[in-house]
Amino acid sequence: MPLFKKLFDWLEVRIGVRELAEKELTSYLLPRTINVWYSMGSILLAIFALQVVTGILLMVYYVPDADKAFKSVTAIMNEVPFGWLIRLCHAVGSNMMVLILLFHMFSVLFMGSYKSPRELNWLSGFILLNLVLGISLTGYLLPWSQLSFWATTVATNSVGAIPYVGGYLTEFLRGGKLVGPPTLGRFFALHVALLPLLIASVVAIHLFLLERIGVSSPPFGQENSANRWEGDRFRYEDHPGGIPFFPNYLLQDMTSIFVYLAFFFAVVFFAPSIFFPFDAFSPANPFQTPAHIKPEWYFLANYQTLKLFPNEFIGLMVQGVAMTFLAVLPFLDRGKERHPLKRPLFMLCAIGGIALYLALMIWGHYS
Amino acid sequence: MKTPHRLRANTGTVAPFLFILTLPFLTLPPLAGAQGESVCVQCHAAQSGRGAIPVKPWRESIHAANGISCSDCHGGDPKDAANAMNPAHGFLGAPQEVQIPSFCGRCHVGIKEDYLQSAHGRALGKGGPTCVTCHGSHEVKKAELELINEKSCSRCHSYDRAARIKAAMQETEGMIVAADRKIHGFRKLGIETDAYEKGLYSTRNRYHRLFHDVDTARIVAESARIRGEVARLNGSLGVIDEALRKRKLAGGAAVGLALLAGIGCYLLKKTYD
């Protein structure tokens, strides 16, 4: 303990750790009515950290070469000590990251937390969603299995539907006319270097905005649930009389993270195959298209939407418009009210949108 | 009142940027739709008369499941509609009854030999059954014991002998199917099963060749040998089963510990609340 105290004192006189801890932990007050949905962001941070750690461990044995990639993944699953656990954690974790990210977005939507002055929080979150989908898509190719090869072939094909530049874009993404070794190199670089860096940077921006603007109050349990932001000047939204982040809400975060981990381990140890179709364990064969190949669950709605339109470009445009609408929602929804039950039009659109998304996903799965 | 206007103006700038930003991640594909079918299937499926008949049964057949398409049996060019049925491009058409064993035997070489040596094969062209009598022509069924049944066999002769053969093979069939299912399950977990699959494939082929023999004594003896091989394979699979059981135990402990830690944090939080 004296050593710890000495180290603490050494830091205290140099960077004022006591004041920093007080400001960021014990004096950082959150609304008394804060609920469990506010811990989704912390779960996402834990997942991202786990993905980085398991990703680095996988890189020790993975070989990003079209001739060796599948064999190296098979070796990780069968020969490397605990390789199966690391790979399953990484693969299941990527699905969980998308799932929890969607929960996080839905909770922000329903509690109206995207409203002014938090447009930038929403936008950075929206960009994170796209980056997470991007990192999932690029990671999908790396095992160089039948599933990954053909899913990437058709995914990159669809870019060709964009008028004028589609052909060039497809070739740029693939590094050639067809999906092949250059595609694997590109996707590997994107997956392990560029996208994680971008995600970490946007997460930093997201957290900075949260810290700078302050945590929003949930619209529940208060008489006036309208947005109190006046818009005349910058104001930090503080919560006098609120609960401290440490230890109170940190313990809530830890509770949520452990409950998540229990669910996560249950999938990893007892039902990992829900995320692995049979073709995920056959080596890529450019000469044999597997039957019934489907994208991952989070792309099924997009997949089904494209099938609904006779022209692929129209399908892309419709999805682009929907995503753009979601991105600029805080700029379009200018109402002050935040309680979902006092926003019937919003509720109708949100529940309708989620129901449509789920319906398309289920339809895509069974089509 | 100025702020909303400013923000509305920003929307116009931000929207196209975001659209472009999100476009690459929206390009998700009609994967199944992109998978090309041969011109044979495309053309025959579009027909309304006799020509359309083979398509549906073929789609449900073991051939379709294993990627064996029209041209693999009938020849022709499956990518060029104009030459799909051109003899110059290898189109063979449908075989005559006596040609059927040779037609199928191009791939199923051993089975053709067994068949030709059996009472069934010796009766070829004299009212005896050919491959398609039991297996169907386009609806080709997986060679399973269920193909031997009273309804099918008694079309030509009494079922007694066939029933004795079926009884002798029943246990072997069950063991092979169970081992196959187990290997399939392991593969879905990412376990390398190539060696087991190849081993079982070879054993299964030997077993399937028995179907075309009508020598009861030989079938009984060979079935016993095959059961021994499958039992040895099951021994190796048992080692994997044991490893998986240990994994699940560890998994149960991990889930339990995470839940306990969660409950602990929750209770501690409650004390602070």
Q: Is pLDDT above 50 for B32?
A: no
For chain B, state the CA radius of gyration. Answer: 29
Which of B18, B56, B135, B241 is closest to A331 using CA atoms?
B18
Which of A149, A99, A183 is closest to A293 using CA atoms?
A149
Q: Whole-angstrom Cα distance, residue B246 to residue A315? A: 48
Question: B70 to chain A nearest CA, in Å?
Answer: 16
The answer on B114 and B170 residing in a single domain is: no
Please check whether residue A327 lies inside any domain of the structure. no
Structure tokens given for B225: 């040998």
- Taking an 8 Å cut-off on Cβ atoms, the answer to whether A137 and B190 are in contact is no
Please check whether residue A293 lies inside any domain of the structure. no
Q: Are A49 and A42 in contact (CB under 8 A)?
A: no
- Taking an 8 Å cut-off on Cβ atoms, the answer to whether B18 and A292 are in contact is no
Give tens-digit pLDDT for A105-162: 999 999 999 999 999 999 999 999 999 999 999 999 999 999 999 989 888 887 888 8
Q: Is the Cβ of B46 closer than 8 Å to some Cβ of chain A?
A: no
The answer on B166 and B252 residing in a single domain is: yes
Please check whether residue B11 lies inside any domain of the structure. no
pLDDT classification of A1: cutoffs 50, 70, 90: low
Which chain A residues are within 8 Å of B8, Cβ to Cβ? 331
For residues A206-215, b (16+ Cβ closer than 10 Å) or e, as one string?
beebeeebbb
Please check whether residue A110 lies inside any domain of the structure. yes
- Taking an 8 Å cut-off on Cβ atoms, the answer to whether B24 and A134 are in contact is yes
- Give the alpha-carbon dihedral of B63, B67, B72, B73, to 10 degrees: 10
Which of A274, A278, A287, A273 is closest to A150 using CA atoms?
A287
Query: What is the CATH classification number for the domain harbouring A186?
Result: 1.20.810.10
Give tens-digit pLDDT for B184-235: 999 999 999 999 999 999 998 888 877 787 777 888 888 889 999 999 999 9
Q: The domain containing residue A120 runs over which residues?
A: 40-217+255-288
Please check whether residue A189 lies inside any domain of the structure. yes
pLDDT (mean) for B241-247: 97
- Taking an 8 Å cut-off on Cβ atoms, the answer to whether B189 and A293 are in contact is no
List C-alpha distances in Å: A39 to A100, A132, A211.
10, 19, 15
Which chain A residues are within 8 Å of B188, Cβ to Cβ? 273, 276, 278, 281
Q: Is the Cβ of B13 closer than 8 Å to some Cβ of chain A?
A: no
Please check whether residue B89 lies inside any domain of the structure. yes
Domains contained in chain A, number: 1
Q: Is the Cβ of A21 closer than 8 Å to some Cβ of chain B?
A: no
Please check whether residue B29 lies inside any domain of the structure. no
In 3-state terms, what secondary structure has residue A24?
Answer: helix
Please check whether residue B76 lies inside any domain of the structure. yes
Contacts of B22 (CB under 8 A, 6+ apart): A130, A320, A323, A324, A327
The pLDDT assigned to B161 comes to: 83
In 3-state terms, what secondary structure has residue A185?
Answer: helix
- Taking an 8 Å cut-off on Cβ atoms, the answer to whether B188 and A155 are in contact is no
Which chain A residues are within 8 Å of B268, Cβ to Cβ? 247, 251
Q: Which residue has the tokens 């094969």?
A: B121
Q: Which residue has the tokens 């050593």?
A: A3
Q: Is pLDDT above 90 for B127?
A: no
Please check whether residue A312 lies inside any domain of the structure. no
Which of B183, B231, B177, B185 is closest to B204 using CA atoms?
B177
The pLDDT assigned to B273 comes to: 79
The answer on B221 and B241 residing in a single domain is: yes
Give tens-digit pLDDT for B129-179: 999 998 888 988 777 788 889 998 898 888 988 888 888 788 898 999 999
Q: Which residue of B5, B27, B35, B68 is the best one to mutate when testing the A interface, meaning the one whose CB has the most A CBs within 10 A? A: B27
Q: Is pLDDT above 80 for A91?
A: yes
Give tens-digit pLDDT for B71-126: 999 999 888 888 889 999 889 999 999 999 999 999 998 888 888 988 889 999 99
Q: Whole-angstrom Cα distance, residue A101 to residue A105? A: 6
Q: Is the Cβ of B251 closer than 8 Å to some Cβ of chain A?
A: yes
Q: Is the ipTM of this complex over 0.85?
A: yes
Please check whether residue B129 lies inside any domain of the structure. yes
Q: The domain containing residue B164 runs over which residues?
A: 159-273
Which of A21, A42, A110 is closest to A255 using CA atoms?
A42
The answer on B212 and B124 residing in a single domain is: no
Which chain B residues are within 8 Å of A258, Cβ to Cβ? 258-259, 261-262, 265
Please check whether residue B196 lies inside any domain of the structure. yes
Q: Which residue has the tokens 């069968």?
A: A78
The answer on B106 and B90 residing in a single domain is: no
Domains contained in chain B, number: 3
Please check whether residue B236 lies inside any domain of the structure. yes
Q: Whole-angstrom Cα distance, residue A94 to residue A267? A: 13
Residue A283 phi/psi, 5° resolution?
-65, 150
- Taking an 8 Å cut-off on Cβ atoms, the answer to whether B31 and A303 are in contact is yes
Please check whether residue B9 lies inside any domain of the structure. no
Q: Is pLDDT above 60 for A222?
A: yes
The answer on B272 and B188 residing in a single domain is: yes
In 3-state terms, what secondary structure has residue A30?
Answer: strand
pLDDT classification of A206: cutoffs 50, 70, 90: very high
